[in-house]
Amino acid sequence: MQSILVIFTALSFFFEYSSSQQLDCHDLCDYLVTYNITQALSKSAAVSASRFCDPNLWYYCPHYGSVADQASSLTDPDNSDNGWNSIGYAPQYVQLDLTEKYRVSCVRLKVHMSSHGPTHHTLWAGDNLNRLRVVKELINETAPNRPWLNVTFNPPLDEVRFLRLTSTVSPSWIGWWKFLVYGN
């Protein structure tokens, strides 16, 4: 009951003041994160991907750091390093294992792709890798001039341990500066 009251209060405040210049939030996900109403679940997630920009294998990759550095930068809102780059065109994926089940309120994605053009990304979620389901399609929403994509779930997604972001269409290499998951 207390969490319903907190959510109701947050929604009331957001909708009442979202047009105000004093509130620098673009949607409910921004609001929940800005005012610490939800916690960063992705901060300690295990990251896997179709491939990483491995500095031991690719000349282009040393400034991305090690695979572990890329994973930490991708999922930690306080780490502003280099994110993840697949060094390849679609199809590619990056996946988070939250290590236990949570209730997910929103996902924030920061684009790291350099070209304009058609894109198709799919966000999958579930409690088991064999039972992931599509929770959001992002079609033609990523471009260098639109760096943040916020996906808010109302109601929140229950029993989520795994999230996978697949990219099947893109004019450039697939990369994300951030893949942040919030909830409780």
For 42-56, how does the pLDDT look when each residue is reduced to its tens digit (9 = 90+)? 999 999 999 988 777
What span, in angstroms and rounded, lies between the C-alpha atoms of 66 and 146?
27
58 with 130, same domain?
A: yes
27 with 90, same domain?
A: no
150 with 160, same domain?
A: yes
Residue 11 pLDDT greater than 70, yes or no: no
143 with 118, same domain?
A: yes
pLDDT of residue 54: 78
pLDDT average, residue stretch 71-95? 88
Which residues are registered as beta bridge partners of 124? 134, 164
pLDDT of residue 69: 86
Mean of pLDDT over the chain: 82
Domain residues for 45?
39-183
6 with 84, same domain?
A: no
14 with 102, same domain?
A: no
Count how many domains the chain has. Answer: 2
13 with 84, same domain?
A: no
How many other CB atoms sit within 10 Å of the CB of residue 136? 17
Higher pLDDT, 3 or 104: 104
18 with 45, same domain?
A: no
What span, in angstroms and rounded, lies between the C-alpha atoms of 115 and 99?
34
Number of H helices, E strands in the chain: 3, 8
Query: DSSP per residue over 100-132, as a string?
Result: EEEEEEEEEEEE-----S--EEEEEEESSGGG-
How many other CB atoms sit within 10 Å of the CB of residue 87? 17
167 with 114, same domain?
A: yes
pLDDT level of residue 12 (50, 70, 90 thresholds)? very low
83 with 18, same domain?
A: no
49 with 86, same domain?
A: yes
Predicted TM-score (pTM) of the model is 0.82
Higher pLDDT, 2 or 147: 147
Residue 22 CB-density burial (10 A; 0-12 exposed, 13-18 middle, 19+ buried): exposed
Give the HSE-up count for residue 41: Cα atoms under 13 Å, Cβ half-sphere: 24
Report the run of H or E that residue 17 belongs to, with start and end.
helix 2-17
pLDDT of residue 143: 66
pLDDT average, residue stretch 135-156? 82
pLDDT of residue 146: 61
DSSP 3-state percent helix, strand, coil across the chain (nearest 5): 20, 40, 35
For 105-134, how does the pLDDT look when each residue is reduced to its tens digit (9 = 90+)? 999 998 888 777 888 999 999 999 999 999
- Report the CATH number that the domain containing residue 88 is assigned in CATH: 2.60.120.260
pLDDT average, residue stretch 154-165? 96
Report the run of H or E that residue 165 belongs to, with start and end.
strand 148-169
Q: Is the separation of the CB atoms in 173 and 109 below 8 Å?
A: no
What span, in angstroms and rounded, lies between the C-alpha atoms of 111 and 150?
11
Higher pLDDT, 27 or 107: 107
pLDDT of residue 144: 65
Higher pLDDT, 51 or 36: 51
